[in-house]
Structure 1
């Protein structure tokens, strides 16, 4: 077993892999994930909606001229990663999870356009100064920064709005932020049980409302249709949109750094 990988403690990245139907998980991960599924059976669909959201938003960024991406809290490599959605783009994946780093380097290590960096979102300055990241990303040009299903593992004590301000401060005009976050609006009564499961996992889960999630886009110009239920964000024509008009388990949006200010 690679150094730092603990199989007896539920791991949030491996639990997410289990929701997606992946095989990179252990009994402790599956048991914890099943407890969450007992409380919110729809979480499998929400996780898959989040992956689909990644694909649509990254495609939108590429159409907007973005050809370099920083994916923080990237999680275990699965289908439709950023470098697969936009072949040829320069991509840096960042994670602090030993499981993710081992799998990522094994699967992606030979791709010359892909860099994998160990880093913790709670210390954004260290990520931004990492020499491998600096060698790959040119912050004098527009960049796409992805924070997908990661901010709900950043407690208020770590100043999530300050973290976002630090990232925004290095983003050139025309840069884009893609962010998704679990919202408790639809099922507030379920939040306590989910929190208890994640309290025994590798990272605690932080409950936030839609209004709190919208605040994370302060300082960005939010593109249409705004911060919405993930399936409602520019759905592929002809596809059904579940939960339409109802509070979502996942909210997300895309913000742009303006040329002004």
Structure 2
């Protein structure tokens, strides 16, 4: 497999999490160093690729759920590299504002989205909601007076602090018909082996640039108080929107909820 063109300023000598995720999804926006590092991770964590693909399947189902509700605007927080079935490919007629704080993901995103007028990429920290919502790539593309789906898929566990406070500025801007969608790893699992594997995976990131914050089910549910949570409620990503008996769970909960 040959690598893609290298965006200006991108270091291809060091593995990058966003590109490793792209590799696990079967994308083309990764390099040899990313593939080698991802393969080493998978050798020690057999569910890494399964988790990435299950989470991407959840994203697809969640976006389709939003579209079925009439939503045609999306704010994708912590979007990574927007490829392999990402939001603008699923909701083709929608406006999609991608946001990521990491320069590598943003550089690749700019290259991928260069010819699209209904999608943008903004470099910003999702924890600074004012900076995100006021950025031209968001404010000039999305009409917040109309329903918007705020997506925070497989990103919030990399952001420390109180989850309700973190999401409050985004939730407060939702008008009736809008939606909030998250997926988040948690070691509060009914299966002790799964809980142990989640904790072990989180330990790998300790001391790195992206340490993982494990939150309880109660902490994950708190930001959705007052919203209408879609069936089947808070479940592992492999079981949204329907349970899949026999499919190995990955320890990442999914929630979709509507405003009004």
Over 3 Å counting, the alpha-carbon distance change for 1:208 and 1:145 in structure 2 is: same
Q: Which structure exhibits the higher relative contact order, with contacts defined as CA atoms closer than 8 Å and separated by 6 or more residues?
A: 1
TM-score (norm 1): 0.85
**Residue 100 (structure 2) pairs with residue 98 (structure 1):** no
Which residue number corresponds to residue 141 of structure 1?
146
Q: Deviations over 1:160-199 (max 9, x none)?
A: 2211111111111110011111222242323443233223
Q: CA deviation at 1:99?
A: 1.4
Q: CA deviation at 1:4?
A: 5.8
**Residue 219 (structure 2) pairs with residue 212 (structure 1):** yes
Which residue number corresponds to residue 259 of structure 2?
257
**CA distance in 1 between partners of 2:246 and 2:256 (Å):** 20
Aligned partners of 2:98 and 2:121 also within 8 Å: yes
**CA distance in 1 between partners of 2:54 and 2:210 (Å):** 22
Structure 1, 99-108 or 37-46: larger mean CA deviation = 37-46
Which residue number corresponds to residue 188 of structure 1?
195
**CA distance in 1 between partners of 2:30 and 2:10 (Å):** 11
Partner SS state of residue 180, structure 2: strand
**CA distance in 1 between partners of 2:164 and 2:40 (Å):** 31
Partner SS state of residue 178, structure 1: strand
Aligned partners of 1:15 and 1:25 also within 8 Å: yes
- Superposed, 1:17-56 pairs within 5 Å as 17-26=22-31, 29-30=34-35, 32-56=37-61
Over 3 Å counting, the alpha-carbon distance change for 1:76 and 1:55 in structure 2 is: same
Structure 1, 197-206 or 23-32: larger mean CA deviation = 23-32
Structure 1, 205-214 or 32-41: larger mean CA deviation = 32-41
How many residues get paired? 251
**CA distance in 2 between partners of 1:209 and 1:19 (Å):** 27
Q: CA deviation at 1:135?
A: 0.9
Partner SS state of residue 177, structure 1: strand
**CA distance in 1 between partners of 2:38 and 2:226 (Å):** 35
**Residue 190 (structure 2) pairs with residue 176 (structure 1):** no
Q: Deviations over 1:56-91 (max 9, x none)?
A: 111111111101111111111222111111112111
Unpaired segments ≥5 residues, structure 1? none
Over 3 Å counting, the alpha-carbon distance change for 1:166 and 1:228 in structure 2 is: same
Which residue number corresponds to residue 3 of structure 2?
none
TM-score (norm 2): 0.85
**CA distance in 2 between partners of 1:207 and 1:9 (Å):** 26
Which residue number corresponds to residue 165 of structure 2?
162
**Residue 121 (structure 2) pairs with residue 119 (structure 1):** no
Q: CA deviation at 1:212?
A: 2.8
Aligned partners of 1:36 and 1:197 also within 8 Å: no
Over 3 Å counting, the alpha-carbon distance change for 1:192 and 1:63 in structure 2 is: closer
Aligned partners of 1:119 and 1:127 also within 8 Å: yes
